[in-house]
Structure 1
Amino acid sequence: MQDNEFFVKFTDALPAGLLAVSGDGRIFLWNSTAESITCINRGDIIGRRADDLPESIRGLFHSDSSEVIIEIPGGQFRHISKTVQEISVNETENNVVVAFMDMTEHLIRKQEMEQVLMETAETRDLMEEQAARLAIALAEVDEKNEIIQAQNKRMVDELKMAGKLQKSLLPNIYENIGGVSVSCKYIPSIHIGGDLYDVVDLGQGLSGFIIADVSGHGVAAALVSSMFKMSFHTLAANVASPKILFHMLNQEFNPILSDDYITAFYLLSDSVNNAISFSNAGHPTPLLYKKSTREVIELDTDGFFLGMFDDGAYEEKTITGIERGDALLLYTDCLLETENKEGVPFGLTRLKALFAKTIEESHGQDVIDLIEARIRVYNARENFDDDFTVMLLEFWEQADHSRENGMDSLPADSGGFVEF
């Protein structure tokens, strides 16, 4: 009896299901693991003939396959791995023992793993395909970048050449025109810009000086400034009135300019009468230094930008009593609008004080260089954001072309013009 109880407990402790059929075809062993796998109690199966068992259970006896699928109550199916073994008790009786295990969860995990591996393979293939497409796209981008860089280099080279040509018309020089010593400096913010200055000698002690600034930057502004310079030369030689000259220039450029405009200041000096006449078309006010009083006066008149309106309504003023040692600083808005690191513009007040100090200590190109150096120190950036253009007029200096840069006198066939 004890041996029988031990056998039952021993077989119930095994992880595999056990089924044993006696020689007469009856079930005499059905352990607890077999119950768990099949959901059939041992009381419902022990003592029954094997032929009376459900078809799925009878499949456990078939030795032709190591795997079988059985259906359990509730319509569920189990994947079973089994081993069938015949055991001879005596010469007349052969028992059949079946050991089986439920592989359902294992197979499910295996299928899930295979699915993951398949998806991983598909993902890898997709990634490889995308990588190949990306490599092709990058190669195309590199090719296009090379084309763009070559085009940019050509454009930059052309801009540099245009800048050199433009700057050749606006050199940093010293010249004496009708008793007025002229010093100039032009530094474009990019390779070419829209600032310009020019001088014309009308004869009989009259000399004209203009500074202008075309709105915008780059090629378009440079083209407009070149056109303006040509028109100025054509008209200024025959016009002895600043406001009339501005009226004529405005009439000429109003049909040409749409969204752009030109600010300008034109001064006509009269060395015979020691006087100056001027007109302003919306340009930053030039600064007149009076040596006798050390006073700095802003020169301004009414008048709109050139080219913006049909009638600019330009005003003309005249100042007499211009003495030897007086000086006039003409400039563009870069000098006023350059900002420090706090974002504060240099402004007119600082410029007036700086001009008064430098003109008392220096002359000619040195004045402009000192002003530039001081504004560069004030500037928060490495370069100017706008074109830096300055023209200094020092009145009633004797014409001495050997003073600076070894300049020769005007050529005989210059026609009265001096072009910068």
Structure 2
Amino acid sequence: MIELKFGQRKVVTFRGARKVVGGLTEKNKIDILLYISKEFANADKEEDLYDIVISLCKDIFECDNTTLRMWREKFLDPVRFFKETDPPRRKLGQDEGYSGFTFKTRMPLLIQDLSHHPEYIDEGESTRAIMCVPIMYKEECLGTIAVESDTEFFYREDDLEILEALGSQLALAITSVRLIQGLVLANEREAQILKQLEWDMRMGRNVQSQIVETRILAWNGLHFGTHYEPMTEVSGDYFNVVRQGNSITAIIVDVSGHGIPAALVTMSIHYQFQRCTSLGMGLGEMLAELGESIRPQLPDGTYFTAFVLKVYSDYTYSYVNAAHQKMLHFHSMTGRVEELDTAGVPLGIFEVERNNFEEKHGRILPGDILFLPTDGIVEQKNEARQELGNQRFIEWIRQEKATIEEQRDKIFIEDLVGSLIGRFKRFKGDMRTGDDVSLLALQCNPELGKARSVLSLAKAAAKSKKDQMAYEKALEVFSMDESLKDSLLLLGKMYYRDRNFEKGVQFIEKYVRTSGEESEHIQYLLGRAYYELGNISEAKKALKRSLAIDHTYAKSSLRLARCYLKENETAKAIKVLQQGVKSAPTNEYLKISLKKLEELVRKKGAEDAAERAAV
């Protein structure tokens, strides 16, 4: 069955809380999702799917039991389980037990200790922790999957996400099997079945659209334009941009083939790309990791190409090509279009290493544009059987840019991409689109040089405590480009310093969204500002994020304790300070605050005891 590198999970008590150790890692999740798809694809009977679900749940979740129930004749019928219970399972109405609750609400359910929820179980049942998800197809609930353990606190939210994915894929697999069986048995229903299959493909496209963002926020003066057009309902193309504070990493991928198999591979690439960027991998190392982590799970004959680009806050960039289309760099000063390529190999065919990929460098200047296309654009043929080709596309870039510049504002990348795709469609005419068509483009704000000069004046004024001038210059920069992270941070900190916390929150949050940076100090500033505004709920969220980034950050511990005191949650405030002292044992402020709060609690306890004695 599934060969995963993880030890058995255990429930332990850690700092007073029950926690799971072992179990699934981020890499396991990708392997599992691909494995589930592969297993379901091999089944041609509904009963086989039932057996696969029970086996998968046992392997993935290390559970004591699993119950698969299907909705039949107004009851949830237990069609599969891998051991009988005492008392035995019975058919459930939609208001009975955790399975009935999940079926009725259409929502996943995670209960860590069923002894606190006797309404969900029959008398005598030994199950203590459960995850239960609906098997949803369109608006119809086909049944439920319940994963059960005799140990409290045995499952985490990560496990529930995997079970939800399994339930979703099972719904599609069951529906596909039923549709195929219906096609064999009743040819006269062919048109209706095909319509259902088309709907399923559209549903797949909706799922895929959640991982491919076609509206990308500007970053530090770089503005984005995109086009994403699957050949069928789902696509084998993928692109993404990940923000990392002082840099961004962009990737564009083309998986061989079309339709659902290629689309499933893009989903795996998405999660692996996110993991690689979060680990801070270099570009060559990242491509090697993508290839090697996904290659064992690829269908026979499937491979993918990729181009990865990293742009830094000084507007230099690095790039690596894994046999993908070349990146095009339009130089605004000269009108020259440079074709950028590196030595590299496609991914998924054979084993690759970091040294299989060459890394090169460049710089993007104000007004410059970078184009990252897939081959669905340049390899498209028109009605005369002529291929579009790279040189024709480059000439279109020059022509369409010149036309748009006369009619639009200086930042026009979205309009330029739209014009290029319009010209592409006119070129192909009535010819069928031969491949998925995708384009990711980045334009550097033509006014960036001026904006950075004004920003330097704003920083100098702020350093010299010339506040009015600092505000004026920083706001002038903001009016020129709202994505410049240094101006956002400067304005946020100045408003925060001057106790205009509402404005401070506005600019600091925009800074976090735009830059992608989430340091412990930035989150502390947000938490403190929300605290001063009386929004304790948001303050706690920001301060907890700060401590998640750096648990030794004492300021966040102290402020979070204050939040709990505001809500009269003294015990929680003490616990926060105790954890803070453990994490930063040399911090005197934490020690003093904890000692004072514990003393106040003792005095209050003594006073209450005296009052009771007097009564």
Q: When the two structures are superposed, what TM-score results if normalisation uses the length of structure 1?
A: 0.59
For 2:361 and 2:259, locate their aligned partners in 1 and report how far apart those are by CA, in whole Å: 35
What is the aligned partner in structure 2 of residue 255 from structure 1? 296
For the 8 Å contact 1:179–1:271, the answer to whether it is kept is no
What is the aligned partner in structure 2 of residue 347 from structure 1? 389
For 1:381 and 1:413, locate their aligned partners in 2 and report how far apart those are by CA, in whole Å: 41
Q: 1:388 to 1:270 in 2, by over 3 A?
A: same
Residue of structure 1 aligned with 2:320, choices 279, 286, 290: 279
Q: Secondary structure at 1:381's aligned position in 2? A: coil
Q: After TM superposition, give the deviation of residue 186 of structure 1 in Å.
A: 0.4
Q: Secondary structure at 1:177's aligned position in 2? A: coil
For 1:343 and 1:243, locate their aligned partners in 2 and report how far apart those are by CA, in whole Å: 37
For 1:412 and 1:368, locate their aligned partners in 2 and report how far apart those are by CA, in whole Å: 24
Q: Is 1:400–2:482 an aligned residue pair?
A: yes
Q: Is 1:185–2:267 an aligned residue pair?
A: no
Q: 1:371 to 1:141 in 2, by over 3 A?
A: closer
Q: Is 1:368–2:388 an aligned residue pair?
A: no
Residue of structure 2 aligned with 1:235, choices 273, 276, 292: 276
| Matching residue's letter, 2:358 | E
Q: After TM superposition, give the deviation of residue 392 of structure 1 in Å.
A: 0.8
Residue of structure 2 aligned with 1:318, choices 341, 358, 361: 361
For 1:141 and 1:357, locate their aligned partners in 2 and report how far apart those are by CA, in whole Å: 52
| Matching residue's letter, 1:246 | L
Q: Summarize the alignment of residues 298-309 of structure 1 with structure 2, pairs less than 5 Å apart.
A: 298-309=339-350
Unaligned runs of 5+ in 1: 1-139, 403-407
For 1:412 and 1:344, locate their aligned partners in 2 and report how far apart those are by CA, in whole Å: 44
Q: Secondary structure at 2:430's aligned position in 1? A: coil
Q: Secondary structure at 2:218's aligned position in 1? A: strand
Residue of structure 2 aligned with 1:290, choices 312, 331, 334: 331
Residue of structure 1 aligned with 2:369, choices 317, 327, 331: 327
For 2:434 and 2:401, locate their aligned partners in 1 and report how far apart those are by CA, in whole Å: 26
Identity of aligned residues (%): 26
Q: Secondary structure at 1:276's aligned position in 2? A: strand
For 2:237 and 2:358, locate their aligned partners in 1 and report how far apart those are by CA, in whole Å: 23
Higher-Rg structure is: 1
Q: After TM superposition, give the deviation of residue 259 of structure 1 in Å.
A: 1.2
Q: Summarize the alignment of residues 10-409 of structure 1 with structure 2, pairs less than 5 Å apart.
A: 144-203=186-245, 205-239=246-280, 241-257=282-298, 258-272=300-314, 274-311=315-352, 313-320=356-363, 322-362=364-404, 363-381=412-430, 383-395=432-444, 399-400=481-482, 409=510
> Which of structures 1 and 2 has the larger relative contact order (alpha carbons within 8 angstroms, sep 6+)?
1
What is the RMSD of the two structures over their aligned residues, measured on CA atoms?
2.7
Q: Secondary structure at 1:394's aligned position in 2? A: strand
Q: Secondary structure at 2:320's aligned position in 1? A: strand
For the 8 Å contact 1:195–1:213, the answer to whether it is kept is yes
For the 8 Å contact 1:277–1:317, the answer to whether it is kept is yes
Q: 1:389 to 1:142 in 2, by over 3 A?
A: closer
Q: After TM superposition, give the deviation of residue 182 of structure 1 in Å.
A: 1.3
Q: After TM superposition, give the deviation of residue 414 of structure 1 in Å.
A: 9.8
Q: 1:359 to 1:141 in 2, by over 3 A?
A: closer
Q: After TM superposition, give the deviation of residue 232 of structure 1 in Å.
A: 0.3
For the 8 Å contact 2:219–2:514, the answer to whether it is kept is no
Q: After TM superposition, give the deviation of residue 400 of structure 1 in Å.
A: 2.5
What is the aligned partner in structure 2 of residue 101 from structure 1? none
For 1:305 and 1:142, locate their aligned partners in 2 and report how far apart those are by CA, in whole Å: 40
| Matching residue's letter, 1:247 | A
| Matching residue's letter, 1:400 | E
Unaligned runs of 5+ in 2: 1-181, 405-411, 449-479, 485-508, 519-615
Number of aligned residue pairs: 270
Q: 1:229 to 1:142 in 2, by over 3 A?
A: closer
What is the aligned partner in structure 2 of residue 102 from structure 1? none
- Whose helix fraction is larger, Structure 1's or Structure 2's? 2
Q: Secondary structure at 1:234's aligned position in 2? A: helix
For 2:511 and 2:190, locate their aligned partners in 1 and report how far apart those are by CA, in whole Å: 47
